[in-house]
Structure 1
Amino acid sequence: MLRLRLLTWDVKDTLLRLGEPPRRPVGESYAAEARAHGVRVQPEALGQSFREAYGAQSRRFPNYGRGRGLSSQQWWVDVVKQTFRLSGVHEDGVLTLMAENLYRDFCSARNWEVLPGAGETLSRCCQRGFRMGVVSNFDNRLENVLSQCNLRHHFEFILTSEDVGFAKPDRRIFEKALRLGGVPPQQAAHVGDDYARDYRAARAVGMHGFLLRAAGQGKEPGVPPEHILPTLSHLLALIEKG
């Protein structure tokens, strides 16, 4: 059995997912907001424009513009406005209204869904006495999102890349988690769905790692089967086996 005292968790696509039924894909959420302002845009076009705008903004201002004088709210408002501009909407007043409304919307549970097994697994981990924290490349809305989704109470601390100033796979965000948890790396494990930013990055600082990989997802090189989680519900069994 692994002698673990601290578990840290990724959030997006590990504990929560965005735009899955019954929630709407991003393009549909944006199209609905546009309709409320009398603007008609196809959801598919908006989905494509969002991917383009988000990618360009991430390259130009990494980590929500944290080191470049932007707030994450301004960063996201610019992404939303550019998404609509790429889809042919150019009226500044409407763009600002829609962007601010959508920024607020994505703070709420309405656009997020708790992944199967997440709540139960977190509860069981707390019952077993593990200390728990979040390490996420998210902006400062995360605390509110987790509260709205009834997950916040499981965690002693929430580390977002915006707050810390470093995004995974930067080792410093994991080192801060270890300091907050008060444990050496060999007594901590990180759970996430991204091979480079979660699994490999945690292992690089000496933590254990568990990689969430649903059936049908490709295998990653150098990840032993006992580190692979087909679902979150497998976690405690793997810890006890290790």
Structure 2
Amino acid sequence: MLKLRLLTWDVKDTLLRMRQPLGQSYAAEARAHGVPVQPEALARAFREAYGEQSRRFPNYGRGQGLSSRQWWVDVVKQTFRLSGVQDERVLTLMAEKLYQDYCGAGNWELLPGASETLRQCRQRGFRMGVVSNFDQRLETILCQCNLRHHFDFVLSSEAAGFAKPDGRIFQQALRLGGVPPGQAAHVGDDYSRDYRAARAVGMHSFLLCADRQGEQPEVPPEHVLPTLSHLLALVEKG
């Protein structure tokens, strides 16, 4: 059995996922402003706008004097511009509204087994924390989705100043959790940012593969979670 005292968790696509594809949410907002745009076009434009913004201003522009709110508003505006919307007034209204919408539970849903697994881990006496590439809205979202009470701390990349896979965000989490790396495990859905990055600082880690086809070749089967409900059995067996 692993001698673990701290479990850290990724959030997006590990504990929470979007209720509907982003393109659909954006298209609905556009329709509300009398602007017809196809969800598929918006999804493609978002990937382009988000990728370019991330290259120019990594980690929500934290190191370059940009607020994460402004970072996101710019991404949303550019998404609509690339989809053919040019009215600056409408762009601003839609961007501000969508930024707010993703603060609440309306656009997020729990992954199967999330609440129950967190509750059971708490009952077993684990310290618990969040380590997520996310902006300042994370605390609010976790509260709105009734998950915040499970965690001793919430560490977003914006607050930490470092984004996964940078090991420094995990080192901050270990300090907050008050344990050495060998007594901590991280749970996430991304091979490089979650599984491998946590192991690089000496933590244990588990890779959630709920909606993924095929397994990562370098991940032993005992580190793979088909669902979150498999976690405690693997922790206690390990």
Q: Shorter-chain TM-score: what band? A: over 0.9
Q: How is 1:26-175 mapped onto 2 (pairs within 5 angstroms)? A: 26-175=22-171
Alpha-carbon distance, 1:215 to partner: 6.5
Cα shift at 1:217:
2.4
Cα RMSD after superposing both structures: 1.0
> Shift of the alpha carbon at 1:29?
1.1
- Work out the number of aligned pairs and report it: 238
Mapped to 1, the partners of 2:50 and 2:17 lie a distance apart of: 17
Aligned counterpart for 1:221 among listed residues 217, 224, 227? 217
Superposed displacement of residue 218, structure 1: 2.5
d(CA) in 2 for partners of 1:81 and 1:65? 16
> Residue in 2 aligned with 1:238?
234
Per the normalisation by structure 1, the TM-score is: 0.96
Indicate the SS of the match to 2:129.
Answer: strand
Equivalences for residues 180-219 of structure 1 within 5 A: 180-214=176-210, 217-219=213-215
| Equivalent position SS for 1:125 | helix
Q: How many Å separate the matches in 1 of 2:237 and 2:61?
A: 42
Q: Which runs of 5 or more structure 1 residues have no equivalent in the other structure?
A: none
Q: Which amino acid aligns with 2:179?
A: V
The runs of at least 4 aligned residues of structure 1 exceeding 2 Å deviation read: 214-218
Letter in 1 for 2:84: G
Deviation at 1:162, TM superposition (A): 0.5
Can you give the 5+ residue segments of structure 2 that lack an aligned partner in the other structure? none
> By how many angstroms is 1:216 displaced?
5.2
Provide, for residues 111-147 of structure 1, a one-character-per-residue CA deviation record: whole Å limited to 9, x for no partner: 1110000000000000000000000000010101111
> Structure 2 vs 1, CA of residues 215 and 159 (structure 1 numbering), >3 Å: closer, same or farther?
closer
Q: What TM-score results when the alignment is normalised by the length of structure 2?
A: 0.97
- Cα shift at 1:91: 0.9
Give the aligned residue type for 1:12. Answer: K
The residue type equivalent to 2:146 in the other structure is: N
Output the CA distance in 1 between the equivalents of 2:203 and 2:168. Answer: 13
CA distance in 2, matches of 1:58, 1:76: 10
Partner SS state of residue 51, structure 1: helix
Counting aligned pairs with the same residue, the percent is 79
CA distance in 1, matches of 2:165, 2:152: 22
Q: Which amino acid aligns with 2:104?
A: S
